[in-house]
Amino acid sequence: MIFSGKTCWVTGAASGMGKAVSIALAQKGAKVIISDRDPIGLEACAQIIRNAGGLCRTEVLDMSDNKSITEIANKVIADGEQVWGLYQFAGISQRSLVVDTPIENDRKIMEINFFGVITLCKVLLPNMIANGGGQLAATSSIVGKFGFPYRSAYSSSKHALHGFFESLMAENSKNNIKVSMLIPGRVQTNISKFALNSDGSEYGKMDPGQANGISSEKAAKIIIKGLEKQKKEILIGGKELLMLHIRRFFPSLYYYLATRIKPV
């Protein structure tokens, strides 16, 4: 079991896949550092882990604040934590057409989904290398592989993660740094509830397709199994994953379907 005795940091741990993966890692014998902007949800996750006899440290973290991310990560390192695994689930989505989306929304989504993610990674990576290696996982999406209506900035931010982490992986294979991209389809999480409308307000509800998706707990089992096998890409979901294969092998069909997919 690759996680036993290791220290693993999970972002977005107050709910959804981040919470489920944090609990699963603790069950595998890892000490977990869990982060989220929601202190109440974060503490609830921590209590589940501690009540089961697991080791857990909490750090309230706003992924839109690069300065805070850097300060907290450096404090964790200064405290002597040797982070072996970094698994990032924190993120924000959108529900608006390109023509209606102000650039401020695009920047906010990129700040959280891309710059926040790579900032935390950049702070921890040198220590991982110095400690002999580690494992990184970033949460993309099936729309990190293709464009999708009402998701222009979200899709762009996830595409960017692939470019960054694939480059990082190529540079650091000699340093024993393993990288996995998590590619979920429909999973029952809160991401659609907190998605941005064109006016910057929260969408406030779960999409019907997402509500019928797999549970966060089932997603966590798939993720943990994939991480144990050190898979480069871990697909998470149901029949909607078929779109990945359509986009790859039948691009003309994808372009046809993309204009006919319901945006939510």
* Structure confidence at residue 1 (pLDDT): 77
| CATH topology for the 7-258 domain | Rossmann fold (3.40.50)
SS3 119: helix
pLDDT digits (tens, 9 = 90+) for 10-27: 999 999 999 999 999 999
φ, ψ at 76 (rounded to 5°): -60, -45
- For CA atoms 250, 255, 261, 263, give the dihedral sign: positive
Q: Residue 113 and residue 175: Cα distance in Å, rounded?
A: 26
Q: Could you tell me the pTM of the whole model? A: 0.96
Name which of 68, 156, 74, 146 is nearest 113 in CA terms.
Answer: 156
* Structure confidence at residue 162 (pLDDT): 98
**Domain positions in the chain:** 7-258
Low-confidence ranges of the chain (pLDDT < 50): none
Catalytic positions are 154
